[in-house]
Amino acid sequence: MAADLGGGSTDADGGPVRHIPVLLSEVIEALAPRPGAVILDGTFGAGGYTSAILAAGANVIALDRDPTAIEGGQGLVKASGGRLSLIHSRFSDLADHAPAGGLDGVVLDIGVSSMQIDEAERGFSFQKNGPLDMRMSASGVSAADVVNRAKVSDLARIFGFLGEEKQAGRIARAIEKAREKEPFTTTRQLANLIELTTPRKAKDKIHPATRVFQALRVFVNDELGELARALIAAERALKPGGRLVVVSFHSLEDRIVKKFFQDRSGKAAGSRHLPEVHDRAATFAPVGRPMVAAGDEESAVNPRARSAKLRAGERTSAPAGTDDLSIFNLPNLAGLEKMGS
97/197 Cα distance (integer angstroms): 46
Asked if residue 213 belongs to a known ligand binding site, the reply is no
Tell whether 296 is in a known binding site: no
What ranges in the chain are assigned the alpha helix state H? 24-31, 48-55, 67-72, 74-79, 114-118, 143-149, 152-163, 168-179, 187-197, 210-220, 223-237, 251-263, 296-301
Residue 321 assigned to a binding site: no
Flag whether 64 is marked binding: yes
Asked whether the beta carbons of 30 and 246 are under 8 A apart, the reply is no
Whether residue 66 is annotated as binding a ligand: the answer is: no
d(C-alpha 257, C-alpha 23), whole Å: 17
Q: Is 47 annotated as a binding residue?
A: yes
Q: 87: exposed, middle or buried (C-beta count within 10 Å: 0-12, 13-18, 19+)?
A: middle
Residue 248 neighbours by CB under 8 Å, 6+ apart = 110, 111, 227, 254, 256, 257, 308, 309, 311
**Per the annotation, does 48 bind a ligand?**
yes
Residue from 303, 330, 304, 137 nearest 220 by CA: 137
> Which residues are annotated as part of the binding site?
47-49, 64, 91, 109, 116
> Which residues are annotated as part of the binding site for S-adenosyl-L-methionine?
47-49, 64, 91, 109, 116
